[in-house]
With several copies, the nearest count.
Chain A
Amino acid sequence: MATTYLEAIREGLFEEMDRDPNVFLLGEDIGIYGGAFKVTAGMLDRYGPRRIVDTPISESAIVGAAIGASFMGLRPVAEMQFADFISCGFDQIVNFAAKCRYRWNAPAPMVVRAPCGGGIHGGPYHSQQNEAWFAHTPGLKVVLPATARDAKGLIKSAVRDNDPVIFFEHKALYRRVKEDLPQGDYTVPLGKANIHREGRHLSVITYSAMVHVADEAASIVAKEGLSVEVIDLRTLTPLDEDTILASVRKTSKAIVFHEATLTGGFGGEIAARITEKAFEYLDGPVMRLAAPDTPVPFSPTLEEAYLPNVDKLVAKIRQLAAY
């Protein structure tokens, strides 16, 4: 029976909570309500209020408390109701959690789950894709699964990881993406990209919801004889540079593709690394496709114009292929 992306995360959390009594969840409305998106539905019944902690509306306290609990040997999984509110707990994440191992050898093994991304008519405050802030903060790991299989395998790895992990779940994938999951206890390692689709002529390097857009675009241009490889990064830190470079060395052309806004997005990092480390292999400029530099607009006409999509990517692929 196919499992959705959302159910996959829930399963992963259930399994980790069963496996390790130190794992607990905290966040707003995660108990009786099961979370704004119902990811934690059923958890309170199973584990009780000791391990499923409903908190006041205070993102900084949620993150801070997770750090403090991690110091005491627990494995907190904190939920931000939307990734947009993670900026309310920003200082705790980038200054407390990220730096404590480096400074005084006090690891903070914890996960901050953050439902991100647009396409749900959420407007400027329920659609953000703000992973780049965290990928620029040494000490944090940044994870963004694209598939149900990875969502489960990565959340389990994140919970077991001994460093703070920001885990971005794409809201538009929660119920739209599903697949049969492997049986039993499996994990997907942090720091390993997935070759989502093999190809020979051009690499699209992407992550999160855009993996599916890239796959569709690849199918379309395949009919024109263009073989596109789709790399799903899965984690931005650690970054699987080897897989990126191997792909580009093979195809000689690369498009970096993400839903976050263009300027200062993580795509720049990837494009820069490709250029620096695979320059001789390049048969054309590394191109980027991303959202324009605006807040995420609410109205359907504007949001559609804002979000990267199959058409825009197909056009970009054709442009680079023709270079």
Chain B
Amino acid sequence: MAAVKLEALTRHDASQSPEADLARKALTYMTMMREVEERIERRLYRQGKVLGGVYVGRGQEAIPVGAGLAARPDDVLFPSHRDLALYLMRGVTPGQIFAQYMGRVGGLTRGRDGNMHMGDLSKGLVAIISAMAASVPVAAGAAMALKYQGRDQIVMVFFGDGATSRGDWHEGINLAAVQKAPLVLFCNNNQYAYSTPLDKQMACANVADRAPGYGIPAEIVDGNDPLAIYEAGRRGADHARMGLGPYLIECKTFRMTGHSAHDPADYVPKQLFEEWSQQCPIVRLEKRMIEEGWATSQEIAQLHERIRLETDQAIEWAEQSPYPDPSTLELDVYETKG
């Protein structure tokens, strides 16, 4: 009895530790992201209910989740197109996200824009535009503003490996570095930009190799480990919050899908998909959680079930959200029309 009790206590202790708590949060949001995106890509899109481009972050969920956990609730986030979890972590509901993808008024852009092009300033979420890396100078400006206002918040901005080729990426980081703006930069290096592999995108080995050119620190992390990304994100956030300027975190991962829902990704060697499927951040974390005693497999199964149910309900909610009234077409181009 005593032994059993002790074991239970140990388990209990492990599952009560801050690390366990973090892991559970990470698992929850990664699973939610996976589930919501699965529905969008594999069900709603194929049913013709979602129009326009569908870009998902399958296999890359650890990046927004690890980063988002490292952010303070009042930090400002600039997600890119594979960072759905950041929205969930800031309280955007799956229903709102489905509605967004379906062009309904219940989405964050009320049908004005689609898919991941969404934001909500009251939640510290800034919407991307399509042009890759265009967010980087904007994030730099937001970070400069926080410093201007004497606030101790920071900004986190997200982008892919391909985006780093754009002039905006360079100009934005350089400005932020000169201004010592509190900006943490997360690169989702999933080794492809659409069909373009890394060696046609850049001639250096790592995106992090660019950091010295801006006089900022960088680190490379396992992009499929949310806790490692969280740790790096904390270091980056601390650095930025202390007034030391930008910090670059390169997350090495792999895009486990085509570029978008209509892309079969024939150009990716099959073997790469196989190798990287061993690295699924959700499976890896679950394994570790069980090993460390942070959760039981039953608890994990329950989590999945709960998320599936919530997602079902969210889709129902979204499908009941109306399409925007055409008479609103010309509103909000300016503060007052005219």
Contacts and interface: CB of A to CB of B under 8 A. Distances in A.
Interface stretch (B35-43, B142-150, B234-242, B248-256): B142-150
Interface residues of B, number: 73
A278 B118 CA distance: 43
Contact of B165 (A58, A65, A295): A58
Interface string B302-333: 00000000000000000000011110111011
B121 interface: yes
Given A125-B117, A300-B323, A106 B200 contact: no
Contacts of B145: 68-69, 71-74
Interface string B129-144: 1111110111111111
A72 B142 contact: yes
B233 to A, nearest CB: 20
A164 B140 CA distance: 18
B187 to A, nearest CB: 13
Nearest to A301: B323
Nearest to A65: B141
B335 A64 contact: no
A65 B335 contact: no
A297 interface: yes
Contacts, number: 262
Contact of A71 (B121, B130, B179): B121
Task: Give the dominant DSSP class at B's interface.
Answer: loop
Interface in B255-291: 267
B8 interface: no
B108 interface: yes
Contacts of B133: 57
Interface size range on A against B: 35 or more
B165 to A, nearest CB: 4
Nearest to B328: A302
Contact of B141 (A32, A66, A163): A66
Given A141-B334, A294-B329, A61 B172 contact: yes
Give the 3 A-B residue pairs with the shortest CB-CB distance, closest first. Answer: A64-B137, A68-B141, A65-B141
Interface of B: 51-53, 76, 103-104, 108-115, 117-121, 126-127, 129-134, 136-146, 148-149, 155, 162-163, 165-168, 171-172, 174-175, 178-179, 193-196, 200-202, 267, 323-326, 328-330, 332-335, 338
Interface of A: 24, 28-29, 31-33, 36, 50-51, 53-58, 60-74, 76, 82, 84-85, 87-88, 91-92, 95-96, 99-107, 121-126, 138-139, 141, 161-163, 190-191, 237-238, 292-295, 297-302, 304-306
